[in-house]
Amino acid sequence: MGDESSEVDKLRILHLEDSPADAEIIRECLFSAGFSMRLDWASNEKEFETFLASGPYDLILADYRLPRFDAAAALSMVNVTRPGTPFIAVSGAIGEDRAVELLKEGATDYVLKDRLEKLPLSLRRALGEAREHRARRRAEDALRTSEARYRRIVDTAAEGIWAIGPDSVTTFVNARMAAMLGYRGEEMTGKSMTDFMFKEDWEDHLRKIDLCAQNSVESYERRFRRRDGEAIWTQVSATSNFDDEDRFLGSFAMYTDITDRKKTMENLSLMDFALNQVPDAVCLVDDAARFVYVNEETCRILGYSRRQLSEMRLSEIDPETPLRRWLESWDEIKAGRAMVFAGRHRSPNGRIFPVEIAASFFTYEGHGYSLAVLRDISDRDRAGEIKRLISMTGDISRELSKIVANYDDITTTPSLSDLNFSHRQIEIARLLLEGAPSKSIAMNLGVAETTIKSHIAQMYRKLNVNSRMEFGRIVAERGIRLE
């Protein structure tokens, strides 16, 4: 038995009742209360089971006791096949203890047949609670999905991520941060950040925590001690974390490994210091005869400051060597020939004096440079020192070339485009690392799923991996940029 109207917004209700008269009374009660519904009537267990299998219901009404079947058995069946469906027992007589047991098993409410005026209110309350429950479940599902996506992004990030409480105790590290220090994430969680530092750095760390507690966003360098005892230098960008009452909960920071870069910069600083100790003027000139670097002796001999020379060309201090002549000599220097020039340089006060220049060549980031050593030969015969000057410039040039080559290696972070990934494959990689399946990626990008799978297979071959997990791990470990 059921209502025959075709309204799409009708409630679908299943009613278990062995008395046709009672079933009709309850039906009329609900219609009179303004409910638009399709009510399916089941008079026994078999009919109830058949209706229940036909599709979801908005609500189920059930007489407490039927021959060889009762509301408790019906509720058990609903809990298995249609969990979460509101269930109201409607009975002529039901003891308090049995009603409580029924509610414990998951029933929403119970109404006595001699109090049917309460049934519409009970129905509305049950339906409202069901809507709230569905909305809450959708929100929880969305939150779980969001958290899972966030976790995948965090765990495949190229930078280390480290969260600590106000007492410096670790609450979270991502896979990259743990790998940087040579640990597993679970080995670091619960330990103080100072457990991974050198003792002489503790005081500065505590000072930074105090600044974070004052809501200061900090960017600084921090040294840590790896599991093997070696030092690792990181660039830190820290953000404070507060609750709704402005109580400091700790900090969250991103860490970039700058160990190799720092060592290279230290080597370059050492080279600068060393070049300032030699008695000769040493300068670095590019292919347009511009001064890139000069040591202090160069400034003394030429009479210009470093800033002034950085804005000048070699031809501006050598009236007898115009830019055209310098550029003609550049091809010979570039060919690898260490050359010696005799020239006349002019100081800012107009004094012109003779100099000798020994020059050699190296490349950095695709550009050519000449390392030159100058000497004022106003009062001395320099013919005997030409060989020494050539040898010295060659040695310095080779050492500087080696240092900047290393710096080039560690400052050039590879990207997917560097690895010959196409623009489309880079789009797919971003979605893949967020956990999206190939079907979802295909819909997002408006192409066939077979095309996406073909691209993914090519991407895996380029990085020599066999799965999404391996792909994400390689991207994180190598610090590959998704561009």
What domains can you pick out in the chain, each with its CATH number? 11-133 (3.40.50.2300), 160-257 (3.30.450.20), 263-411 (3.30.450.20), 423-477 (1.10.10.10)
- The pLDDT tens digits for 120-151 are 998 999 888 888 888 888 878 777 766 666 66
Residue 172 has pLDDT above 50, yes or no: yes
Distance CA 265, CA 210 (A): 30
CB within 8 Å of 18: residues ≥ 6 apart:
43, 44, 63, 66, 67
- As a whole number, mean pLDDT of residues 349-373 equals 80
* Percent above pLDDT 70 for the chain: 84
Query: What is the rounded CA–CA span in Å between residue 191 and residue 289?
Result: 56
Instruction: Quote the pLDDT of residue 117.
Output: 87
Q: Looking at 36-45, 61-70, 312-321, which range is the least confident one?
A: 312-321
User: What pLDDT does 188 receive?
Assistant: 93
| Residue of 339 and 169 predicted with greater confidence | 169
Per-residue pLDDT, averaged over 287-295, amounts to: 84
Residue 109 has pLDDT above 70, yes or no: yes
> Range with the lowest mean pLDDT among 225-229, 240-244, 316-320, 460-464?
316-320
Residue 14 banded pLDDT, cuts 50, 70, 90: very high
Average pLDDT, the chain: 81
- 74 by Cβ neighbours in 10 Å (0-12 / 13-18 / 19+) ranks as buried
Each residue of 181-203: pLDDT tens digit? 999 888 999 999 999 999 999 99
Q: Residue 386: which pLDDT band, with cuts at 50, 70 and 90?
A: low
Q: 101: which 2 tokens?
A: 């047991």
- Write the CB contacts of 382 (distance below 8 Å, at least 6 apart in sequence): 356, 375
Predicted confidence at residue 150, as pLDDT, reads 63
pLDDT score of 5 more than 60: no
* Mean pLDDT for the stretch of residues 51-78: 88
pLDDT score, position 1: 41
pLDDT value of residue 325 = 66
Query: Concatenated DSSP letters for 199-238?
Result: GGGHHHHHHHHHHHHTT--EEEEEEEE-TTS-EEEEEEEE
With 60 as the cut, is the pLDDT of residue 23 above it? Answer: yes
Which pLDDT does position 3 carry in this prediction? 42
Strands 160-164 and 248-257 come out as: antiparallel
Element spanning 263, H or E? helix 259-275
